[in-house]
A and B are shown apart, each in its own frame.
Chain A
Amino acid sequence: MSSAADTHEHNPHLAHHFETIEQQEEAQSMGMWLFLAQEFMFFGGLFCAYAVWRFTYHDAWFEGSSHLSTFWGGLNTIVLLLSSYTMAMGVYYCQIGDTKRLTNRLIMTLGLGIVFVAVKLQFEWFPKFHDGVVPGQWWGPAGHYADMAAFPEQGHLQLFYFLYYVMTGMHAFHMLIGFGILIPLIVMSAMGKFGPQRFMAILNFGLYWHFVDIVWVFLFPMFYLVT
């Protein structure tokens, strides 16, 4: 015990209230996992609501889903899985101390994330807004979505799109938070702040990013592939 404390006496990354760096790293890792458990329940509420209405209004779900583009949704899935991969590689390069490649991979992760959000807005949300696929008082499918107006259960269709906007929106919001953390991490990485001795921030951000990816892995079949 005392020898461990002595060797870490000089470690500048050890906060005063921890005894050893192992204890600190385990605490940080555990804290992140608990945060993800919390995030899981946060999305869990939405998934639960989704499940209830999917079973109740299957026809509306099918109708709504058939107007979502599998191409753009699939492309975004690929983009997000790739960004998860680059993030995982970033963790690897951090652990072996290759700071240059770490910075590189973090920038690639950020770039892919931005592509995801851009595709989502430009090719999915904005055209729908333009064609009146907005639940509530502005509801009035037209243009590309005109044949949706003939569907008898307009209210249920609006529920589908309400959940679509809320759930993908909440997911995109989590990506934006990710960007907000990623940018400082890139700057710090470029300054050489990370390495084999200090990688918890990268590791924990990686966990967050993979979690956001997992959410999308479920959202994709739930919205784009209802059959």
Chain B
Amino acid sequence: MANATTTDHIDIPERDYAAPAVHYLNWQYTASSWLLTLDHKRIAILYLITISIFFMVGGLFATIFRMELLTPEGDLLNADTYNKMFTLHGVVMIFFFLIPSIPAVLGNFLLPLMIGAKDVAFPRLNLFSWYILIIGGTMAVTLTVTGGLDTGWTFYSPLSTHFANTNVFLAALTVFVTGFSSILTGLNFLVTIHKMRAPGLTWFRLPLFIWAIYATSIIQILGTPVVAITILLAGIERVWGVGIFDPYLGGDPVLFQHMFWFYSHPAVYIMILPGMGAISEIIACFSRNRVFGYEFIAFSSVAIAIIGFLVWGHHMYVSGQSMYAGYVFSILTMIVAVPSAIKIFNWTATLYKGNVVWATPMLYAIGFIGLFAIGGATGLFLGILGLDVPLHDTYFVVAHFHYVMVGGMVMAYLAGLHFWWPKMTGKMYPQLPAQVCAVVIFVGFNLTFFPQFLAGWMGMPRRYHSYHPDFQIWNVLSTAGAGVLGVGFTVPVFYFLWSLFYGKTAGSNPWGARGLEWEQCTSPPDPHNFHHTPVVDHIAYPYTGEETLSV
């Protein structure tokens, strides 16, 4: 157990290389001790396994349709199958990977540790959320094997309510059920952050990851129910043959888009905000510097959560929405870019004059900054009313979204996983393969998605299984990149599993990082997290920039 650092005196805590004899992973072994656990750390592991499986499934769908796109003709898949592939890719990746990934895995594991609590506020609710995700996942699997879904992940009416021949109602129920997993997780986290902080841990001493999770939880609680009822309504309309979205009886499909994007635009911030929180932790640790402008990063998270609710109409410029609404949404979209930019500038300023250590998490974090900057800036292109009209529904949108979601979110998730893996398992993975793998993912990612910017700029529409032969070169590059990316995503599975059995014992604080989870917890943590309730009397990230670290 490391010393409790309760003074302003700053030094790297002594590294102890011993793993505790009893920790949360080994104190009980039965299946029920895992499946009925109320321990937030074990629930985090359950989530980790679940979403890793969903990530592989979603990736498999992507691999299949990327192979189809290798040639301009629709030769590998017919149009119907292709539609189902990209729809299932979207549904699985968004609802079962991106949304639960950082909040449910890293958030569950770290939130009580970072704020010095024994558990989240409602442990039973926490376990229940996981079971809801499993029920939703089972429904998604049922959906896949009973004919799939071909409406796109957006369920636009009247395609979904009237014309699609696939199992839209089951898909709607799947999203509805899964949404409650997200809502209850957010609720749990918000109460935990408000009520469970250790003595002395005031709001401005909180790690920035907690601020990000807080902002995420606001969106989860206030946005998700709207999409739940919207998609349920679309499902009921389909069964009932009447409805408010279907124009058949006087309904308005644009209303569906309003209600859908009211959640689904803020939902992209559910996906990216916790990633930004993880990046703040990692950048501070591996540049051995205090985070530059702590308050700005903290409040920019909350600002994104709130302003993010005011911009949804930028998905609907060409849908028949009033152009005046378009103007307003376009201006607000420019404004929501400001807090994101503040974060990027502050991370960069944190690196300045720091002792940057190129450990694996830092490689991912640096990659995140670059890729997220590209993804965010192209988002502004698309937020501009005039420019969106030609770019709408082209591969430019696809590339932008994947730069933010894969280049941003998945990189941040991998960064976080590599950063906290020693804490979660008590084992260190081998650095060199992991560093090489980070570079491979970065290269593979850019090879996959940068050509899509070009193809989209030239006018290649999305969601078609065949395309004009002029676009073939970009698609060949993209598919090649997807292969590299696939390898990059597979290798970590092996070295992580390897490290569980053969990895070096990490010790409680292998990175010399600051924060309660590193300084006052063993690796892996005790079943009850802390032996004594920690008391905090200093700011977050008291790095001096003087220390050096070798990994």
Measured CB to CB, the residues of A under 8 A from B are 1, 16-19, 23, 26-27, 30-31, 34-35, 37-39, 41-46, 48-49, 52-53, 56-57, 135-137, 139, 153, 155-156, 158-159, 162-163, 166, 170
B255 touches A49 (CB 8 A): yes
Closest B-chain residue to A139, C-beta based? Answer: B242
- In the complex, whether B504 has a CB less than 8 A from a CB of chain A is no
Query: Are A158 and B242 in contact, CB atoms less than 8 angstroms apart?
Result: yes
Contact across chains for B225 and A38 when beta carbons are under 8 A apart: yes
Instruction: Find the residue from B119, B183, B242, B533 having the highest chain A CB count within 10 A.
Output: B242
Do B187 and A57 touch across chains, with their CB atoms under 8 A apart? no
Contacts of B190 in A (CB 8 A): 30, 34
Of B237, B251, B258, B528, the most chain A CB neighbours within 10 A belong to B251
Given the interface pairs A34-B221, A52-B255, the reply to whether A136 lies near B242 with Cβ below 8 Å is yes
- Give B188's nearest chain A residue, CB to CB: A31
Contact B250 A156 (CB under 8 A): yes
Q: A30-B191, A31-B122, A135-B242 are in contact. List 13 more A-B contacts (CB 8 A).
A: A1-B199, A17-B117, A17-B121, A23-B196, A26-B195, A41-B223, A42-B225, A45-B230, A46-B229, A49-B244, A135-B240, A159-B243, A166-B233
Q: How far is the CA of A45 from the CA of B262 in the complex (A)?
A: 9
Across-interface contacts of B236 in A (CB, < 8 A): 166
Once bound together, how far apart are the Cα atoms of A23 and B187, in whole Å?
Answer: 16
- Assess the B118–A16 pair: CB atoms within 8 A: yes
Contact status A162-B122, CB under 8 Å:
no
| Contacts known (A17-B118, A45-B229, A49-B255); A35 close to B187, Cβ less than 8 A | yes
A-B contacts, 8 listed (Cβ < 8 Å)? A31-B188, A37-B222, A38-B183, A38-B221, A45-B226, A53-B244, A136-B242, A137-B241
Per the CB 8 Å criterion, the residue count for chain B at the interface is 46
A146-B418 Cα distance, complex, nearest whole Å: 69
A30 touches B195 (CB 8 A): yes
Specify which chain B residues have a CB less than 8 angstroms from the CB of A46 in the assembled complex.
Answer: 229, 233
Contact B242 A162 (CB under 8 A): yes
Chain B residues at the A interface, C-beta cutoff of 8 Å: 117-123, 125, 183, 187-188, 190-192, 194-196, 199, 221-226, 228-230, 233, 236-237, 240-244, 248-252, 255, 258-259, 262, 528, 533
A165 to B528, CA, bound (A): 49
CB distance from A27 to the nearest CB of B (A): 4
Please report the C-alpha to C-alpha distance between residue A199 and residue B369 in the assembled complex, in whole angstroms. Answer: 50
Residues of B within 8 A of A139 (CB): 242
Q: What is the bound-complex CA distance between A167 and B62, given in angstroms? A: 39
Distance in Å: Cβ of B253 to nearest Cβ of chain A: 12
**Chain A: minimal CB distance from B408 (Å):** 26
* A45-B230, A135-B240, A156-B250 known; A23 vs B225 contact (CB < 8 Å): no
The residues of B that contact A52 with a CB separation of less than 8 Å are 244, 252, 255
Q: Please, how many angstroms separate the alpha-carbon atoms of A109 and B500 in the complex? A: 56
Contact yes or no, A159 B251, CB < 8 A: yes
Given the interface contacts A38-B183, A135-B240, A166-B233, does A31 sit within 8 Å of B121 by beta carbon?
yes
Minimum C-beta distance from A7 to chain B (A): 16
* Bound complex: CA A153 to CA B251 (Å): 13
Q: Whole-angstrom distance between the alpha carbons of A166 and B240 in the complex?
A: 11
In the complex where A31-B121, A57-B250, A158-B249 touch, is A42 in contact with B242 (Cβ < 8 A)? no
Contact (Cβ within 8 A) B249 A156:
yes
CB–CB A17/B119 < 8 A:
yes
**Which of B118, B196, B223, B240 lies at the interface centre, i.e. has the most chain A CB atoms within 10 A of its CB?**
B240
Contacts of A34 in B (CB 8 A): 187, 190-191, 221
Residue from the list A35, A49, A155 in contact with B249, Cβ < 8 A: A155
| B196 pairs with A136, CB closer than 8 A | no
Whose C-beta in chain B lies nearest to the C-beta of A52? B255
Question: In the bound complex, how far is the Cα of B263 from the Cα of A44, in angstroms?
Answer: 12
Distance between Cα atoms of A48 and B252 in the complex (Å): 13
Q: Inside 8 A of A53's CB, which chain B residues have their CB? A: 244
Report the bound CA distance from A56 to B254 in whole Å: 14
Leading 10 A-B pairs by shortest Cβ distance: A155-B249, A42-B225, A17-B119, A17-B118, A45-B229, A135-B242, A136-B242, A136-B241, A27-B195, A41-B225
Q: A162-B240, A163-B244 are in contact. Are A37 and B221 (CB under 8 A)?
A: yes
Give the CA-CA distance A38 to B190 in the complex, in Å: 13
A42 touches B199 (CB 8 A): no
Complex Cα gap A159–B401 (Å): 36
Q: Which residue of B lies closest to A163 (CB)?
A: B244
Is the Cβ of A39 less than 8 Å from the Cβ of B240? no
Q: Which residues of A contact B533 (CB under 8 A)?
A: 19
Closest residue of chain A to B195 (Cβ to Cβ) is A27
Cα–Cα, bound, A122→B388 (Å): 53
Tell me which residues across on chain B come within 8 A of A38, comparing CB atoms. Answer: 183, 187, 221-222, 224-225
Q: Which residues of A contact B194 (CB under 8 A)?
A: 27, 30
